[in-house]
Amino acid sequence: MKEKLGTIVGVIMFAVIIGGMIYVNVVIEISEREIISEIILEGNITLSANDFLIGSDLNKVSEYPELTLQEIKSRITEHPYVAKAEVQADGVGRVDIKIVEKNFMAVLLMKSDPFLITENFQLIKLKRKSDISKLPVISNVNFNRKNNDYESFHSDELVRAFKIIDAAKIVNDEMYNDLTEINLRHGGDIILRFSGISYPVIFGKGSEGKKVVILSSIWKGLNKKDKLFKNSSYVDLRFNNEIFIGKPVNTEKNG
């Protein structure tokens, strides 16, 4: 009888302990959710921190007490611009979010809609208020799909454009920063446009890395409008190891 009574008491005590632990965990969880009063986001480049929070439905302060860290992380990582995120609470009401944006290569003009294109050829529709001032535009790309599948797009033309961008980043930061447009001309000879230079650079196709190095070698003259380039109407890199500088043709007739 004593053994049975001891067993019953032990079971009751065990149940009380387990119940107490569950209660404490629930109370702690509720307390943690209730203390969230501020969310700070860092690491943003393309959008403001506030626009990232709005796009992730994390801008309503009145809802913060109901959020958990997992919910906050889930929402921010679902934002199309975000590659990964770290979420931490400081224990006194503040949650810090550190994001890493996807590696955007350029703005791709597709029919009537602009897209951001990543290094993995993922297409993301451009959101309002995005800062694209440091990204070149890729225009006139062939897009022959019958459906409107804009999730990703890979083509030989885009590979050429990416090679130009990557080479410019490596060879000449100033030249890369001034690169405004890569016109693929629907498969024709590629034409580049740069800020500060009024005339086009006819880049052609093939040997992208080599041509970027050649262009970099005359970049200071182009950018500063040295005498050789002062009255130029275009620069042509289509010919092997040679640079052709086009001069405007005077069509006025004398006498």
Concatenate the DSSP letters of all residues of 184-216 into one string.
-GGGS-EEEEETT--S-EEEESS-HHHHHHHHH
Average per-residue pLDDT for the chain: 84
Segment of 27-36, 78-87, 233-242 carrying the highest mean pLDDT: 78-87
Residue 227 backbone dihedrals phi, psi, to 5 degrees: -55, -40
Which secondary structure element, helix H or strand E, spans residue 96, and what is its range?
Answer: strand 94-101
Torsion on CA atoms 60, 123, 148, 187, rounded to nearest 10:
150
DSSP 8-state code for residue 21: H
What kind and span of H or E run contains 118?
strand 113-118
Whole-model pTM?
Answer: 0.78
Q: Would you call 131 helix, strand, or coil by DSSP? A: coil
* pLDDT confidence bin for 129, thresholds 50/70/90: very high
Higher pLDDT, 84 or 29: 84
**Secondary structure letter of residue 46 according to DSSP:** S
pLDDT reported for residue 218: 85
Give yes or no for residue 28 having a pLDDT over 70: no
- Rounded-to-integer distance, Cα 100 and Cα 87, Å: 12
Q: Encode pLDDT of 179-209 as tens digits.
A: 999 999 999 999 999 998 888 999 999 889 9
* Domains identified in the chain and CATH numbers: 14-101 (3.10.20.310), 104-246 (3.40.50)
In whole angstroms, give the CA distance from residue 197 to residue 201: 9
Please determine, for residue 30, whether its predicted confidence score (pLDDT) is greater than 70. no
Contact 86, 95 (CB under 8 A): no
| 248 pLDDT tier (thresholds 50, 70, 90) | low
pLDDT, position 255: 33
* pLDDT grade for 147, boundaries at 50, 70 and 90: very low
